[in-house]
Amino acid sequence: MKRIIIHDATPIAPFGEPASELRLLNKQLWLLQRDLLARHCKGMLELDGIEELPDHFDDEHFVCKDNLFFNQELVDEFIVQARARRTACQIAFALDDKAITTHALPLATGIQRTGDVYVAEMYYFPAGKRHAPQPLVIDTQAYEMGYYNIPQYMAPQQGDLVFQVPNRVFLSIESWVHIYLASTPFGVFNWARQVDDLMQRGRLANIRTWDKHDWHALRPKIELLLTSFGERINPFEDHWRNHFLACRKLVKVGKNCSIDPTAIIHGPTIIGDNVYIGPGAVITNSLIGSNVNIMQGAQVMLSVISDRCFLPFNSAIFMSSLMDGSMVAQNTCVQLGVIGRNTFIGAGSTFTDFNLLGEPIRTLHRGKLEDVCTPVLGSAVGHHCKIGSGFYTYPGRMIGSNTVLILDNDFNVIRRAVNVPRHDAPTPPEEDMHSEVQRTVYRWPYLYNPETGELRDPRPLVRRDVSPAEALDHAPDFDHHNPLVKHQPSAAFEAGVHDALPLAAQTERNAVAIPINEPQSIYSGGA
């Protein structure tokens, strides 16, 4: 059988590349398609549209768009059924297929309804004259998996946050949301679904009603149980393989890997070559590429970490995909998101995944904000980005490729040396240099006046229609007896505009913080 690929050059935001060039499950999509079709097809011809297909085929042909994501189970089933028909076929799905209607249809135009089925651009043509293809319905065998009995404000449907995980995966990659779906619910979560199917089949309590699928599952199920038991009693086995879900059948480790004995790794998980996993790291149901460093205390769950990625200590990745060469710094949490290649995410950043106002999460797609039809979703960052520390990203947002974001806040960013004497400043007496009393104490961003006891916020609340000089005269006062309590807001505050003054206007009146030469313990509470 020969293979014909229909090229789709539409760039996927925020990466700026067509879907075929993006990484899904640590492989570029065109390479993933080639590997899945290797057992069926030889050679490849690339066309720009279905209308360029020849009118006559000298051999069997498999035709599909290069932005389609599928797994081995789906393509095998489609080719087997199409060959049995001996006629031209187009892949189709039933109208009640939950995996398609729940996850694949939103934001997608490559799956269209035709009559009483959904069809997509995957075809089979037998040798001979080309005829119009007939829909061939494939059941994705969707299975509900996810989180149950969680707070209902996060899952309106009876407190269940679930995904329709198919056994036969199919997606048309047209948005970064589809990349997230292909990597996690339809990717590594699909691996867990297959293991769950295996364990549910071949139960001895139901041996009288076994079918052929139960008998086929018996041997791999016994192998899995015996492998786990043998590793538990083997004193020379790696210490981290002390759990059923950590056996070699479920956790596959490449060459030259260093895994700390205190790490926790549960399968199904695949780990590439030259990987370091530090003490206390937790990895569950994930794909780890080659040349990856996961430091102590890092958390990876239901995620894809591609080649050459680096996760420092205490970084957390949940249901997300990191493309090759990316880094997520310490104390940063990425949830239900996609990070492009060669991208740096600074320390202490958070990618939120839940709309606190209860509104539907929307994302920018083809120039319009569209509902993603899911109660939780993270964000996407493009290629070659550098995101500074301390950023909070709302759900459904995108950061385009080649972006550099630096936190620019005059009130909690230290731009210059603080309390460092000049070279010509007099040297304090030696007995005062290490005194606890002589330490300079700042209440940032509040300014303390030791003469009046006033604790004042230097950030005025101003109106847009007044100049900075006028706004300084209308800044709200503070209660001198209780400096943390404001008086009634002034007219400028009642206007409701909260823009801070420019830096030049602030330095005009509030030039520097006033140091306090008092014991630190008195002011240890902070403002």
pLDDT band at 158; cut points 50, 70, 90: low
Q: Kindly list the distances between the CA atom of residue 459 and the CA atoms of 36, 148, 478, in Å, as whole numbers in the listed order.
A: 60, 45, 12
User: Is residue 507's pLDDT more than 70?
Assistant: no
CA distance 502 to 504: 5
pLDDT (0 to 100) of residue 450: 63
pLDDT tens for each residue of 404-431: 999 887 777 887 887 777 766 666 665 5
pLDDT tens for each residue of 253-291: 999 999 999 999 998 999 999 999 999 999 999 999 999
User: Is residue 68's pLDDT more than 80?
Assistant: yes
Q: Kindly list the distances between the CA atom of residue 521 and the CA atoms of 438, 440, 445, 454, 457, in Å, as whole numbers in the listed order.
A: 12, 12, 19, 18, 21
Residues 326-350: what's their mean pLDDT? Answer: 96
CATH dotted code for 248-405: 2.160.10.10
b (16+ CB within 10 A) / e for 330-343? bbbbbbbbbbbbbb
**Residue 437 token pair:** 């009393």
Q: Kindly list the distances between the CA atom of residue 411 and the CA atoms of 262, 404, 460, in Å, as whole numbers in the listed order.
A: 41, 21, 12
10, 56 in Cβ contact below 8 A? Answer: no
277, 258 in Cβ contact below 8 A? Answer: yes
Q: How buried is 350 (Cβ within 10 angstroms: 0-12 exposed, 13-18 middle, 19+ buried)?
A: middle
User: Is residue 465's pLDDT more than 60?
Assistant: no
What is the reported pTM?
0.79
Tokens 């089949």 sit at which residue? 201
Q: Give the 3-state secondary structure of residue 450.
A: coil
Among 109, 116, 106, 249, CA closest to 178: 106
Max mean pLDDT among 104-118, 201-215, 456-470 falls in 104-118
CA distance 338 to 368: 20
Q: Give the 3-state secondary structure of residue 324.
A: coil
pLDDT tens for each residue of 11-32: 999 999 999 999 999 999 999 9
- Among 228-237, 243-252, 308-317, 384-393, which is the least confidently predicted range? 228-237
- Among 223-232, 296-305, 315-324, 370-379, which is the least confidently predicted range? 223-232
CA distance 104 to 110: 10
User: Is residue 195's pLDDT more than 50?
Assistant: yes
CA distance 287 to 197: 20
Q: Give the 3-state secondary structure of residue 259.
A: strand
pLDDT band at 483; cut points 50, 70, 90: very low
Tokens 């003469």 sit at which residue? 451
| Residue 136, C-beta contacts closer than 8 angstroms, at least 6 positions apart | 78, 81, 82, 85, 89, 90, 91, 92, 124
b (16+ CB within 10 A) / e for 62-73? bbbbbbbbbbeb
Q: Which is more confidently placed, 257 or 520?
A: 257
Q: What residues pair up with 287 in beta bridges, in sequence order?
A: 270, 304
CA distance 336 to 229: 35
Among 380, 275, 382, 392, CA closest to 333: 392
268, 250 in Cβ contact below 8 A? Answer: yes
Among 501, 503, 527, 350, CA closest to 416: 503
Q: Where are the domains of the chain?
A: 2-143+167-174, 248-405, 427-527
| Residue 366, C-beta contacts closer than 8 angstroms, at least 6 positions apart | none
CA distance 39 to 305: 27
End-to-end CA separation in angstroms for the chain: 73
For residue 319, is it left (φ>0), alpha (ψ between -120 and 50) or beta? left
Max mean pLDDT among 160-164, 322-326, 503-507 falls in 322-326
CATH dotted code for 2-143+167-174: 3.90.550
Mean pLDDT for the chain overall:
83
pLDDT band at 447; cut points 50, 70, 90: low
pLDDT band at 320; cut points 50, 70, 90: very high
Q: Give the 3-state secondary structure of residue 256.
A: coil
User: Is residue 346's pLDDT more than 70?
Assistant: yes
User: Is residue 500's pLDDT more than 50?
Assistant: no
Q: Kindly list the distances between the CA atom of residue 65 and the CA atoms of 6, 151, 174, in Å, as whole numbers in the listed order.
A: 4, 41, 12
Other C-beta atoms closer than 10 Å to the C-beta of 220 total 14
Q: Name the percent of the chain lying above pLDDT 70.
A: 80
